[in-house]
Amino acid sequence: MSRRSGILEFAVLGLLRESPMHGYELRKRLNTSLGVFRAFSYGTLYPCLKTLVANGWLTEESGGTSEDALAAPLAGRRAKIVYRLTAQGKEHFEELLSQTGPDAYEDEHFAARFAFFGQTSRDVRMRVLEGRRSRLEERLEKMRASLARTRERLDDYTLELQRHGMESVEREVRWLNELIESERAGRDVRGPAADGSTHHSTSGETGGLPRHRDSTRPDPSDDTTA
């Protein structure tokens, strides 16, 4: 199984854990909610769904009312298939959520993992965030070393492009630092209360996203930030 197909299977299982969906609905959610899947087709999604059904992680059900199911063949249309997560599928997804190996830190996989942090335990979130930060710090060090070696041979535009890439990585590292700090503090910003104050929760699993003073927070699915 390729890394790309593994990420797609993970995302499909995660979305179906929230609620059953048919293929069109799934594709729409993958496109809008998970930026890493902005450009992919039904030709990619349906083989993935068939594989998950064959593995026993999903079931296929006819969607719509009984009248719709009867009307579809008469109109020459196929009835919509709704995909539902099985107990085995839920167990498999939870197992995937608990994994914190190197793949979890890579660009595309990290974006998908981050999208499901709300379903992930705090200790796993911390390991993934710290692993991602470490990976980007290594990347940043290599970029700086490469720029120092080649600066004199680059024209202004190539030099500016490399600087832009470094700034993007630096911005994501700062963002990760804020997330890690919030996870360690156990903050969960609930928003302003009626009196104008802000409620914070210190529960062990909720965690919390930091509030941002500007719009520089990177999109984890944006390849330019990694």
Give the pLDDT confidence score for residue 107 in this predicted structure.
85
pLDDT at 145 (0 to 100): 94
For residue 6, the model assigns a pLDDT of: 86
Q: How far is CA 122 from CA 97, 162, 220, in A?
A: 11, 35, 18
Rg (CA), the chain: 21
Write down the pTM of the prediction: 0.74
- Is residue 169 a contact partner of residue 140, using CB atoms and an 8 Å limit? yes
The predicted pLDDT at position 3 comes to: 61
The pLDDT of residue 100 is 92
What does the pLDDT profile of the chain (226 residues) look like in tens digits?
A: 456 678 899 999 999 999 999 998 998 888 877 766 666 666 788 899 999 999 999 999 986 544 444 444 444 456 689 999 999 999 999 999 999 988 898 887 898 899 999 999 999 999 999 999 999 999 999 999 999 998 888 899 999 999 999 999 999 999 999 999 999 988 654 444 444 444 433 334 555 666 554 545 565 555 444 4
- How many C-beta neighbours within 10 Å does residue 88 have? 12
Q: Are strands 81-85 and 58-62 parallel, antiparallel or unpaired?
A: antiparallel
pLDDT at 28: 86
